Structure 1
Amino acid sequence: MRTPQAAALTALALLAAACGGASGTGRPAGGGGTFTYVLPSDPGVLDPAAAVLNVTITTLSLAYDTLVGVSKDGKIVPALAEKWEVAPDKVTFTLRKGATCADGTPVKPSDVAESVGHIADPATKSPIYGVLVPSGMKAEADEAAGTVTLSMPKPFSFILESARMIFVVCGKGLKDRSLLARATSGSGPYKLTEAVPGDHYTFKVRREYTWGQAGATAKDVPETVVMKVVPNEQTAANLLVAGSVNGATIYGPDRARLEAVPGMGKRIEPVSNGEFFYHQGDDRPASDPAVRKALTQAIDLKELAGIASGGTGKPVTGLVLHPRPCQGDSVTGHVPAHDPAAAAAALDAAGWRAGPDGVRVKDGKRLTLRYLYATTRGAGTQAAAEYLAAAWRKAGAEVKLNGQIDTKLSESLNTTQDWDVVWLPIGVTLPSQVTGFLSGPAAPKGANFAHLSNDRYESLVAEAGKVPAAEGCPRWLEAESALFEAADLVPVVEITVLQASRNATYEQNAGLFVPTSIRLTS
């Protein structure tokens, strides 16, 4: 069985899981017209089996259906599948009748099975296998019954919930995947008609679409949707103010300006958790739990949260983003509290004593922390790095900051392992999506990049995975708390964005458009 590759971790850090949408003013203008949405970067290759970036997933969600959707409160709702039967190790979906691919061919259970099988095929080397598609998942179609069954080698809590992120490829693209680099071949309400990489992607509506999430149709949506690539966020904000575009996701300082514009649709949504991990390799200072807890106690996490998010974040209450399948707070009361005096005493007790220059030393080795972070995450990440460095230096550590671009950071995490602490925002929608990164074989042999070994976490995850999600949720939440209590990773802040709209309304769930929700307003 293939396991997730460690290289997929950086993809997880880029995969935002925004939910909700943006509201506008005025009355719906009905079907017709053009809705233009800003993408901060080019979505790249459009094959769903290669889609890990948020911009790619958002773009593809216009043209591809999933078997099920998710409501704002985290409940699973019908989409391409009208009903399902769940067992501990499998789920059987009955597809809606009448659903067609963009080329007019009927959507068949075998299309779903082939979509899943392609991702799971070792030859494909799909980066979403083991993340969005669970490792070991198989799919079997029954054309006569109109059903497809997704199964796992053993009981799996989120066998149903996993289907909400699997795009179903059908028609010509299923037979020739090379067509999907710059085209779409799905059963969604829109079809890609023009792709100009680095500039724009144009989609045209399929008015015959009647099988959307919870039975939604394409009757009243815009005729055309343009995904416009605008890398500069200030430019995107200016286009919104001018009414040249209808929607955008804003991360930075332009949020405040847009929120003050009369008539601007606006909603604040969470997209990822700001958090840092300690490297627990045998030769690292943080392999000692007392050191990890002391370093965490040296930090005022509330102050750090404000710095990292520019004051726009929310208190983090869990490892998984909204809408969560498991409701609850796994963070509060489970993270070592800010106490510099206790931190100093703990480091003394662990044998790390202050040297002549103030840097703590043990057995002739200095307490050196190499702090790794991505330079592409904005000014907040840089400011957070500087704040942490100052706090840890005050506690007696020598801190070396190492900002890197995403691709280099991935290499550092997975191959060279030249780090002691890393700031790594992760956006996932299911707690099962990160177990391979928080346990199991350590990098470079496995995906466990921080060399974590938390027996309580692993035991609770094993128990939770054997029962349906609702029954296993208390254990999943307790497992997260076990990580925080041991300072294996330290949750800091829930990063939020502004979903802004102008003369339009739309909804997104888990980073996916609900295309049938798009409306132009007047």
Structure 2
Amino acid sequence: MPTIKYWQGLLVVAAVVAAGTACSTGADSSSGTGGSVRYAIRSDPGALDPSASTNSAGQQVAGLAYDALVALTGDGKIVSNLAKSWTFDASSATFTLNKGVKCDDGHALTASDIAKNFDWIKNPANHSPLLGSVLPGSGYTTTADDATGTFAIKYAEPSGFILEQLSKVLIVCPSSIGNRAKLATGSDGTGPFKLTSAVPGKSYDFTVRDGYTWGPGGAGTGDAKFPHKVTVVVSTNETTAANQLLSGELNIADIRGPDTPRLKDRKLFERGYFHITSELFFNQAQGRLLADEGLRKALVQGVALDQVAKVNTGNLGSVATRLTDGGGEPCADDVTTGVVPAYDVTAANAALDRLGWRTGADGKRVKDGKPLELTLIYPSNAQSSVSAGQLLASLWEQNLHIAIRTQPLTPAAIDGKWSQAGNWGDVALARASDQLPSNLVGQFSGATPPNGTNFSAVANAKYRDLAGRAYGQPGQQSCALWNEAAKALLSAANVLPVAAQNSTIFGNGVTFEVGAGAVIPTSLRLG
């Protein structure tokens, strides 16, 4: 499964005054690294361990305190991070580390420390969600030479996006590799900030690390306008965030809903990126109703995608046409046209009739005495998401005569349910996308939780074959095969892209750059 990127990962950074200043709003950028910011996310990050987190909020928070071997820029370029140079091919990569990299406890990071991270992730007893998604489930081996500062990894099978995948593996320092308890309330990394306080569900305080010079592309924390403190706050209302942005209480906000136009009218600093707002996932585990491909296809044909997309994006987006997003994604082609059937209530009802689901006296469908009842889950922390879920339920109930139980949940709760084998309901209107098609393979094939990350229990042999062939092609040369693999999923109604939009991160009194749909921590500049 990919690092699950729920839309709850929307961030807001708020400026607070430095100690001893008057109660004015906006970021304090008058001297040195004296300013501080408040960085709000719509859902609690849950696990703070970067090798155990699968949600967007968790990965964004971890990005403040941890680094990867290399970094991926907003336009999809690979730049240095822990490693200063590297060589690679489709199945292996060797990295030479930057000298002087220090953990936040002062330990000098070694190549062996990095190897231990990958070995921990590979151990099936640790159930890391990175295995089988970001890192290949087929296995890999690592070698390290501390004398030369080199680390090497070799995949059992080729991968056309090996550097891009490795940019998503954040490195934990050695004192916590075998004892992860510290990571629940603190950090143990090499990143630009250190986690100093954590109140789950409320806030997380980070303090800048002096002497940090090995960030993405050589970025550091010594700039006079770099903030000295970041407080991550759980915030749930986008309209409130927009109002606070305009009033100066906040200085960065990722806004995707109906508040966007009024923020654009104010000519604020902004950075945009492509974002899949929602997809439909079907629980196809053995014994579940939607293990039946015909039933899934009838549901898909009964979805008025344009209507649901309009509601889900606040009339700012459109129907999604691919499975990858985040900006800078190498394979960004339309894979839905000519594959996803058009909205056709008559055809959907006829298909249900052929499957033996007949409408009873109460107006609901029944087969062999068993009612056609489905549980639909969707995120609860944005009105647009709730409204889209309710619209989808009403379309299926009124047009297809299916009984729908709606269950709005926090994104963290959805993530938790997806980690339970086949026990999360029947349909999810949520999101689990990634920049790389290769990072979706674990989500759509292989073992189900807890032994894997295929939470929908997808079993599509054609997809597996095409994905396997795509792995052997370098970079964008593999996109044609990845596109065919995606079409194989859509043809079998294993998944359905629903809504997408160009999202905007606004700034007021601060500038920044964006990568993978989030502010890059080392790019923050007050003023």
TM-score range, shorter chain: 0.7 to 0.9
Task: Check 1:48–1:420 CA distance in 2 against 1; reply closer, same or farther (3 A cut).
Answer: closer
For residue 253 of structure 2, what is the aligned residue in structure 1?
248
Residues 1:236 and 2:233 aligned together: no
For residue 102 of structure 1, what is the aligned residue in structure 2?
104
| Residue identity in the other structure for 1:476 | W
Instruction: Name the % identity.
Output: 36
Structure 2 counterparts to residues 197-276 of structure 1, below 5 A: 200-220=203-223, 221-233=225-237, 234-260=239-265, 262=266, 264-276=268-280
Per the TM alignment, residue 254 of structure 1 is displaced from its structure 2 partner at its CA by 4.3
Distance (Å, rounded) in 2 between the aligned partners of 1:38 and 1:272 = 22
Secondary structure (helix, strand or coil) at the match of 1:59 reads helix
For residue 126 of structure 1, what is the aligned residue in structure 2?
128
Residues 1:12 and 2:12 aligned together: no
Q: For residues 361-406 of structure 1, what are the alpha-carbon distances to aligned partners after superposition, in whole Å with 9 as ceiling and x for unaligned? A: 55x3566140321352432333223322332234433222230535
Higher mean alpha-carbon deviation, 267-276 vs 77-86, is at 267-276
Distance (Å, rounded) in 2 between the aligned partners of 1:311 and 1:89 = 43
Between the two proteins, the alignment pairs up a number of residues equal to: 508
Residues 1:187 and 2:190 aligned together: yes
Task: Check 1:239–1:281 CA distance in 2 against 1; reply closer, same or farther (3 A cut).
Answer: closer
Task: Check 1:172–1:87 CA distance in 2 against 1; reply closer, same or farther (3 A cut).
Answer: same
For residue 167 of structure 1, what is the aligned residue in structure 2?
170
User: 44, 48, 56: which one pairs with 1:54?
Assistant: 56
For residue 71 of structure 1, what is the aligned residue in structure 2?
73
Distance (Å, rounded) in 1 between the aligned partners of 2:99 and 2:257 = 45
Residues 1:293 and 2:297 aligned together: yes
For residue 151 of structure 1, what is the aligned residue in structure 2?
154
For residue 39 of structure 2, what is the aligned residue in structure 1?
38
For residue 401 of structure 2, what is the aligned residue in structure 1?
397
Structure 2 unaligned residues grouped into runs of 5+: 15-25
Distance (Å, rounded) in 1 between the aligned partners of 2:453 and 2:44 = 27
Task: Check 1:394–1:124 CA distance in 2 against 1; reply closer, same or farther (3 A cut).
Answer: closer
Secondary structure (helix, strand or coil) at the match of 1:160 reads helix
Structure 2 counterparts to residues 324-473 of structure 1, below 5 A: 324-362=329-367, 364-365=368-369, 368-406=372-410, 410-411=416-417, 414-415=420-421, 417=423, 419-441=425-447, 447-473=453-479
Per the TM alignment, residue 415 of structure 1 is displaced from its structure 2 partner at its CA by 4.4
Distance (Å, rounded) in 2 between the aligned partners of 1:185 and 1:441 = 31
Secondary structure (helix, strand or coil) at the match of 2:380 reads helix
Task: Check 1:457–1:273 CA distance in 2 against 1; reply closer, same or farther (3 A cut).
Answer: farther
For residue 83 of structure 1, what is the aligned residue in structure 2?
85
| Residue identity in the other structure for 1:231 | S
Secondary structure (helix, strand or coil) at the match of 2:512 reads strand
For residue 310 of structure 2, what is the aligned residue in structure 1?
306
| Residue identity in the other structure for 2:79 | V
TM-score, normalization by structure 1 = 0.84
Distance (Å, rounded) in 2 between the aligned partners of 1:125 and 1:394 = 42
Distance (Å, rounded) in 2 between the aligned partners of 1:97 and 1:328 = 40
The answer (yes or no) to whether the contact 1:317–1:330 under 8 Å persists in 2 is yes
For residue 475 of structure 1, what is the aligned residue in structure 2?
481
Per the TM alignment, residue 330 of structure 1 is displaced from its structure 2 partner at its CA by 1.9
Per the TM alignment, residue 519 of structure 1 is displaced from its structure 2 partner at its CA by 1.0
Distance (Å, rounded) in 1 between the aligned partners of 2:213 and 2:33 = 17
Distance (Å, rounded) in 2 between the aligned partners of 1:298 and 1:175 = 50
The answer (yes or no) to whether the contact 1:15–1:426 under 8 Å persists in 2 is no
Q: For residues 149-182 of structure 1, what are the alpha-carbon distances to aligned partners after superposition, in whole Å with 9 as ceiling and x for unaligned? A: 1222222333222111111233655586444333
Per the TM alignment, residue 80 of structure 1 is displaced from its structure 2 partner at its CA by 2.0
The answer (yes or no) to whether the contact 2:422–2:455 under 8 Å persists in 1 is no
For residue 320 of structure 1, what is the aligned residue in structure 2?
324
| Residue identity in the other structure for 1:466 | G
Q: For residues 18-76 of structure 1, what are the alpha-carbon distances to aligned partners after superposition, in whole Å with 9 as ceiling and x for unaligned? A: 79x99xx99x8684331413323444553333333333322232232211111222222
Distance (Å, rounded) in 2 between the aligned partners of 1:439 and 1:44 = 25
The answer (yes or no) to whether the contact 1:371–1:385 under 8 Å persists in 2 is no
Give 4+ residue runs of structure 1 displaced > 6 Å after superposition: 15-19
Q: For residues 447-478 of structure 1, what are the alpha-carbon distances to aligned partners after superposition, in whole Å with 9 as ceiling and x for unaligned? A: 44434332221210121123333332211111
The answer (yes or no) to whether the contact 2:277–2:313 under 8 Å persists in 1 is no
Secondary structure (helix, strand or coil) at the match of 1:48 reads coil
The answer (yes or no) to whether the contact 1:35–1:246 under 8 Å persists in 2 is no
Structure 2 counterparts to residues 277-288 of structure 1, below 5 A: 277-280=281-284, 286-288=290-292
Task: Check 1:18–1:87 CA distance in 2 against 1; reply closer, same or farther (3 A cut).
Answer: farther
The answer (yes or no) to whether the contact 2:306–2:318 under 8 Å persists in 1 is no
Per the TM alignment, residue 303 of structure 1 is displaced from its structure 2 partner at its CA by 1.1
Using CA pairs under 8 Å that are at least 6 residues apart, name the structure with larger relative contact order, 1 or 2: 1
Task: Check 1:129–1:29 CA distance in 2 against 1; reply closer, same or farther (3 A cut).
Answer: farther
Higher mean alpha-carbon deviation, 475-484 vs 30-39, is at 30-39
Distance (Å, rounded) in 1 between the aligned partners of 2:297 and 2:52 = 38
